[in-house]
Structure 1
Amino acid sequence: MAISVRVLKANHGDCILVTHKGPHGTFNLLIDGGNAGTFKYGQQDRMKGELCKLLDEIKALNQHIDLVILTHIDDDHIGGLLKALKSPGYGQLVKSVWFNSSRLITDHFSFPEIPANDIYLPDSSPDTSVRQGKKFEDLLDELGVERSHIIMAGQKIVKGPFTFKILSPNETQLRKLLCIWPVEKTSPNTSADVTDYSLSLEQLWVDDSFESDTSIANGSSIAFMLQADDQRMLFLGDAYDTCIVESLKQLGYNEQNKLQLSLVKISHHGSQYNTSSDFLSMISATHYVISTNGARHGLPNKRTIARILAAGDGKICFNYPEVAASMLLPNEQHQYAGRLDVVGQIEFEHDA
């Protein structure tokens, strides 16, 4: 038996395939779909992105995506999958979807529906407005895709060979989405050119304090512990650090009783506002995965890398080599370069 974690090049977003191969066959879990270009890009979408190539491989193997988890509404997480689902021959590959849609949230709180939050599939025609396109939920109905109840912290769910312990969102964060969802603008001050990479690790360690993310969308992000065979992993989407810490405490983990992990997908592409030293003190992981090409928001923050380096001895894994190469100053290379790695796929074997 084996589990592989494939971290696709999803531009500044997340798109991760977790595959379990066991005596009862193969189970494919897709976590997010990157932005639209992760599926296809270029003039008239002639170029296949990483997600499109992956789905072609799965189709050729006569397999399916047994479960898709769309962590939250940001385009760098759902854009590629929305484009894939409306493309002929691809939507049929998906069997089940977990996604906290506006309708699920309003139903949970017995609140009136908010039609302005309906998600529509992108249409390449310049003559078609977004609101004239097909609704995401309507397409899932047409495709016969199974959908879950609302996903919330505290739940334990078994799906195929995997056991999920949900860490985020909590009820407070979901309640904040009982409004017309805000469209978050990118500030010119958060471009990739504005980074903390010129600071030394020593400077970052000496002058460190944690401020939490305040994005409503990120706070609603689905995050979970995944267990199968003898492996435990965390996939944190863009979730709030504070919510993850509280959920881990509820499960009995702390600095004295650390959660032992094969892998943790670090929240929000390595933002310093989503990974605290308190969180890192509660876990011990062999792989810390950061997914981004570094093109937006100055992410990952080197401050996050410094916190991980100080917290343990696991490998920090990037899916773009140029990002890994930016993290260390020349005088830091000798001591810390061995802790950084560039990976596309991580394999975990298990003897039955």
Structure 2
Amino acid sequence: MGISVQVLQANHGDCILVTHESLNGVWNLLIDGGNAATFQFGQRGRYSGALRCVLDELKEKGQKIDLAILTHIDDDHIGGLLRAFETPGYLSEMVSSIWFNSSRFITDYFNVAEISDNDIHLRDDSPLTSVRQGKNLETLLNEISCARQPVVMASQKIIKGPFTFTILSPDEDKLRKLLHKWPDDPEPTTTSGHSTDYDLSLDDILADDIFENDPSDYNGSSIAFILEAEGKRMLFLGDAHDKIIVRSLRALGHSETRKLPLDFVKISHHGSQYNTSSEFLSLINTHRFIISTNGAMHGLPNKRTIARILASGSGNICFNYSEIISPLLHEHETETYSSRLVALDGKIRL
């Protein structure tokens, strides 16, 4: 009974399974799917990734995904989900409903012409079929009678199963910025350098710390939300922009003197310094911050983000890859801070 959270090893991406168990049964929420290798990897996909393993476990128990949320279109969030839809016996047969601010939903919302180039296509097993010739994801979702939520936006409060969702991002302005043809790789390298900032000390970082906002429109379109059930409260930020999260939290009445209490927060954009400000941290109260990445892309997490979190209070920072931890601290910082950087070990039980 209760709530459990699995932050899967999704390479440099996000893939999180939240499970609610009660006398009424089990309800599963899947947030993002990591990159394609999170579902399967190796030659011809011969090895199962973390997402496929979890879905296999659910199938063995006779369970399903009651709701899948695709926060935004970056490959490290959508890739694994697409592979799971393309593979017979997985999401096309297991998912009951999905939230995804597709291009079609966005153009409908703004009452403008559809942008067919933004349609998401699935592969099939034929080597003669290109991705663009494959089945459209929207068509597949209709065929399998997967329930859809119209555009998900800030200020909405939605109840699904045992959970209450308070949506913090995106807002209308962020969605409007997607009214154009999307590039094949929407994640700009400018959101974080490929080199790390681990040569800097925590003190040096904080002595000269100026927050700069993430410039990516695609990250800005991330669905981010407060998730509540049974007196527990969690914050899932996808790759959302810090500015809109701060604005949404303040609109809900939270402030430096009326902080939002949380059981944990999944930090935005894999710990990028452009997505977590000291102002945001001053509005929440939690003992656990979660960062999802294997550190393989864009120099993430940034040590500047780690410094801001450590300075904001006494909470621990939890990583789904243990090897991320030791490079983050200099030798003279280890004694003070090493106990606050921890590896996730299995499920988080609330």
- Secondary structure (helix, strand or coil) at the match of 2:44 reads helix
User: Retained in 2: the 8 A contact 1:292–1:299?
Assistant: yes
Distance 1:103 1:344 in 2: 40
Q: Distance in 1 between matches of 2:189 and 2:175?
A: 25
Deviation at 1:348, TM superposition (A): 3.5
Alpha-carbon distance between aligned partners in 1 of 2:107 and 2:280, rounded to the nearest angstrom:
31
| TM-score where L is the length of structure 1 | 0.96
- Assess if the C-alpha contact under 8 Å between 1:317 and 1:342 holds in 2: yes
Corresponding position: 1:12 with 2:12: yes
Q: Which residue in 1 is equivalent to 2:179?
A: 178
- Show the counterpart of 1:310: 311
SS in 2 for 1:224: strand
Partners of 1:49 and 1:109 lie apart in 2 by 38
Deviation of 1:312 after TM superposition, in Å, equals 1.1
Do the aligned partners of 1:163 and 1:227 also contact (CA within 8 Å) in 2?
yes
CA contact (8 A) 1:165 1:226 kept: yes
Contact 1:7 1:344 in 2 (8 A): no
Structure 2 partner of 1:127: 128
**Is residue 259 of structure 2 the alignment partner of residue 247 of structure 1?**
no
Tell me the secondary structure at the aligned position of residue 325 of structure 2. helix
Q: Distance in 1 between matches of 2:190 and 2:71?
A: 26
Aligned to 2:81: 81
Q: Secondary structure at the match of 1:288?
A: strand
1:22-78 residue CA offsets vs partner (Å, 9 max, x unmatched): 121111000000000000000010000000000000000100110000000001001
Q: Distance in 2 between matches of 1:49 and 1:108?
A: 36
Q: Once superposed, what is the RMSD of the aligned Cα atoms?
A: 1.5
In the alignment, what sits opposite 1:99? Answer: 100
Instruction: Provide the rounded CA distance (Å) in 2 between the counterparts of 1:204 and 1:123.
Output: 49
Counterpart of 1:281 in structure 2: which amino acid?
S
Equivalent position amino acid for 2:87 in 1: S
What is the Cα deviation at residue 326 of structure 1? Answer: 1.7
Spell out the pairing of 1:26-175 with structure 2 (5 A cutoff).
26-90=26-90, 91-123=92-124, 125-175=126-176
- Rounded to whole Å, the distance in 2 between the matches of 1:177 and 1:161 is 32
3-state SS of paired residue (2:33): coil
User: How much does 1:346 deviate?
Assistant: 4.2
For 2:293, what is the secondary structure of its paired residue?
coil
Q: State the identity as a percent.
A: 59
Instruction: Determine helix, strand or coil for the equivalent of 2:18.
Output: strand
Checking the alignment, whether the CA contact within 8 Å between 1:7 and 1:291 is kept in structure 2 is: yes
Equivalent pair of 1:97/1:148 in contact (CA under 8 Å): yes
The answer for the alignment partner of 2:323 in structure 1 is 322
Q: CA deviation at 1:129?
A: 2.1
Q: CA deviation at 1:345?
A: 3.6
- Cα distance in 1 for residues equivalent to 2:144 and 2:80: 17
Shift of 1:127: 3.2
Q: Number of residue pairs matched?
A: 348
> What residue in structure 1 maps to residue 268 of structure 2?
267
Q: Displacement of 1:331 after TM fit?
A: 1.2
| 1:24 to 2:24 alignment | yes
**Structure-1 separation of matches of 2:48 and 2:293:** 19
The answer on whether the counterparts of 2:123 and 2:130 sit within 8 Å (CA) in structure 1 is no
* CA distance in 2: counterparts of 1:224 and 1:215, whole angstroms: 19
Cα gap change, 1:188 to 1:127, in 2 (>3 Å): farther
1:228-239 correspondence runs (5 A): 228-239=229-240
Question: What are structure 2's unaligned runs of at least 5 residues?
Answer: none
Does residue 338 (structure 1) correspond to residue 315 (structure 2)? The answer is no
Deviation at 1:200, TM superposition (A): 0.5
Instruction: List alignment gaps of at least 5 residues for structure 1.
Output: none
Is the Cα contact below 8 Å between 1:100 and 1:150 reproduced in 2?
yes
Q: How far apart are residue 172 of structure 1 and its match?
A: 0.3
Distance 1:219 1:21, change over 3 A: same
4+ residue runs over 6 A deviation? none
**Residues 22 and 185 (structure 1), Cα distance of their counterparts in 2 relative to 1, 3 Å cut:** closer
* Structure 1 residue aligned with 2:211: 210
Residue 273 and residue 191 in structure 1: after superposition, are their counterparts in 2 closer, same or farther (change >3 A)?
A: closer
Provide closer, same or farther for how the CA distance between residues 154 and 186 of structure 1 changes in structure 2, counting only shifts above 3 A.
closer
Aligned amino acid, residue 297 of structure 2: R
